[in-house]
Amino acid sequence: MSAAGGTVDTALRRAAAGPGGVIEGGRRRTWAELDHAADEVATVLAAAGAGGGRVALRVENTFAHLGAMFGIWRAGGTLVPLSPRLTASEAASLTTRARVAAEVVLASGSVAISSRPAAASPDPGLAAIAFTSGTTGDPKGVEITHDGMLFAAHTVARTRRDAAESVAAVVSPLCHLPIFVSHVLCRIVTGGTIVLGTFDVGELVAVIERHGVTDLPLVPAMVEPLLAHPGLGRGTTIAKVTVGSALTPIEMKQALAVRFPGADIIEAYGQTETTDGLTMTVGRDALLRPGTVGRTHQGIELAIVDADGRTLLPETRGEIVCRGPTVMRGYLDDPAATREALRGGWLHTGDLGLLDGDGYLFITGRLKEIIISGGENVSPAEVEAVLGDHPAVADVAVVGLPDARWGERVAAAVVARAPVEAEALLTHARARLARFKCPRTVVFVDTIPRTSAGKIRRNVVREELMRRAAVSG
């Protein structure tokens, strides 16, 4: 059982007797009503013989999908959250790897259960298997426990000073477990209120005014269109603006501070393997210490180490490592990757950074090859494998290029073995990959630079594509 008290489902049961709840499409419902919706899904799962197993769900930002998530946990199951943006083949690959007992499908107000053979054994302590893009192409299944989720929710809520009076707009995709923990579970354990939706700038501006939103969690790609909207007034109820999922330029945070003069401007850092955030700024630290992503949450340890695992002094650049109750249990069916990631008792994040003398963390780079575009993680190797399957492609390298709105955009350098148009390659990719993974830029080159071991020299590819963009732009 969790030090925070039971399972994720327990948190909703406790909240059901208190204030707050969910607003969706203008309709306000209590946490008690969400608790009832979870009961209904749990009953259907039990009747189908799928209670206690791994259950997949394409998670959308709706009250019904929240009810399904908690219903899976109430039935004693492990949630396998899937992005609704995945293609059918991508989703099928993940559910097969997870050996799910069933998939929950919500349609026209009803709950349908699709049972699956060869299911894994029940695992009561395992809350979720969250797939995240891996550097080698195949997404890794991150095993997250009930203990980890509850601890993360309580410690993040404490740092951010969440309260029962908080009203948070939730427009980032809840299929990402850290977003669910930060945007929803934190509000449940503090008795707050959430306003559910997807990112439509006009609707978000209206929601802020209509429901008196106090907490505004964003990803960097949302900031520019929001600030440019003529309907966004300065006299709003916003008390806290949080940006995360990708590093946010200081100019963007300064613009947020001007538009919301009385609000905390918060930046958070973490990854799926840590359940939710590792660090967070408070107040206006993000403006006073440009570039920082804050200090660690209570109960989390963080250090900077060199290539041999030795702890480095402040102001020295190295890999960010961490340990604590929110760290994943491991990678699904991948003991070698688990040992590598958790070696020495620390989670090795693959990110580079430094700590200043006051314990503030600054991100300086990335050991991993992951591209972060609009808050979504994209594996270059996965995109390369798809493009490489096209008969006209002899070789390919995929990198992230700087983008003012999306943080990074996916770009592909392609060596063609036969005449082919860029649009044909994009059509090929879109049929096999979620749209956010597909390249926005395709550049034809003569060769792909590689090391003597055959690895792509991504820094050289990136520099060449940026040079060509500068010449053509």
pLDDT at 145: 97
How many other C-beta atoms are found inside a 10 Å radius of the C-beta of residue 124?
13
CATH class of 8-296: alpha beta
pLDDT at 216: 96
Residue 453 sits at φ, ψ, to 5 deg, of -90, 0
Q: Is the Cβ–Cβ distance between 328 and 304 less than 8 Å?
A: no
pLDDT at 240: 97
CATH 3.40.50.12780 domain residues, the chain: 8-296
R_g (Cα) of the chain, nearest Å: 22
Closest C-alpha to 344, from 372, 307, 382: 307
Tell how far CA 437 is from the center of its chain.
14
pLDDT at 4: 45
Q: Is the Cβ–Cβ distance between 239 and 266 less than 8 Å?
A: no
Torsion angle defined by CA atoms of residues 464, 468, 469 and 473, in that order, rounded to the nearest 10 degrees: 160
Residue 106 sits at φ, ψ, to 5 deg, of -105, 125
Q: Cβ contacts of residue 114 below 8 Å, gap of 6+?
A: 102, 103, 105
pLDDT at 454: 67
What token pair was written down for 430?
A: 């879109």
The gap between the terminal CA atoms of the chain, to the nearest Å, is 57
Q: Cβ contacts of residue 208 below 8 Å, gap of 6+?
A: 169, 216, 232, 236, 237, 238
How many other C-beta atoms are found inside a 10 Å radius of the C-beta of residue 311?
12
| Helix segments in 216-346, DSSP class H | 220-228, 250-259, 285-288, 335-341
Give all strands of the β-sheet with 330-331 in edge-to-edge order.
110-115, 102-107, 54-58, 78-82, 126-132, 140-145, 330-331
pLDDT at 5: 52
Ranges of residues in the chain whose predicted pLDDT is under 50: 1-4
Closest C-alpha to 246, from 101, 376, 65, 367: 376
Which amino acid would we find at residue 155? T
pLDDT at 1: 33
CATH number listed for the domain at residues 371-472: 3.30.300.30
d(CA 403, CA 306): 30
Strand partners, 266: 242
CATH 3.30.300.30 domain residues, the chain: 371-472
Tell if the pTM clears 0.75, that is, is over it: yes
